């Protein structure tokens, strides 16, 4: 069930996942929730997007993404070069989730398999925190 879209969402989410059968449904769900979504199948594609798109509000990536950079190196690059971009990593290995804690926003990390509703709720809360910080 999709959340009520009472407040229009004007955020762009970059979804990085090499498994097309995982990436497409979460990207479609986030679009249905009102987000602008850009898809990348690897860290290489994600890096190109991050370098050329002016606004990426959230980087949502598999912790074990394909490409020259692993998800943690991609997150570190994003932190350094796009500090306003929120980062959410999802993965199944416990060690990956612990390592992600040093790079991601406060709060729990998403474990795979995840529910699309949980991803959208987490992203919405991150953006709400950012809006609150900017208003202060």
Where do the structural domains in the chain lie, given as residue ranges?
A: 12-135
Give the pair of three-digit tokens for residue 135.
Answer: 């208003």
pLDDT of residue 85: 94
Give the pair of three-digit tokens for residue 104.
Answer: 């991601």
* Per-residue model confidence as pLDDT tens digits over 47-75: 999 999 889 999 999 888 899 998 889 99
* Per-residue model confidence as pLDDT tens digits over 70-113: 888 999 999 999 999 999 988 765 545 555 555 554 434 677 77
**Contact residues for 133 (Cβ-Cβ < 8 A; gap 6+):** none
Per the DSSP assignment, residues forming a β-bridge with 37 are 13
Residue range 12-135, CATH number: 3.40.50.2300
- Enumerate the H helices of the chain as residue ranges: 20-32, 43-52, 71-81, 94-100, 116-135
pLDDT of residue 6: 47
Cα(115)–Cα(133) distance, integer angstroms: 28
């Amino acid at each position: 069930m999709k959340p009520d879209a009472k407040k229009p969402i004007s955020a762009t989410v970059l979804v990085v996942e090499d498994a097309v059968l995982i990436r497409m449904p979460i990207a479609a769900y986030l679009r249905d929730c009102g987000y602008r979504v850009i898809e990348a199948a690897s860290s290489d594609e994600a890096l190109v997007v991050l370098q050329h798109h002016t606004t990426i509000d959230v980087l949502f990536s598999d912790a074990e993404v394909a490409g020259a950079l692993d998800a943690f190196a991609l997150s570190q690059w994003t932190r350094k070069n796009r500090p306003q971009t929120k980062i959410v990593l999802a993965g199944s290995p416990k060690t990956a989730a612990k390592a992600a804690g040093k790079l991601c926003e406060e709060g729990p990390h998403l474990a795979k398999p995840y529910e699309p509703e949980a991803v959208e709720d987490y992203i919405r809360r991150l953006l709400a925190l950012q809006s609150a910080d900017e208003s202060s």
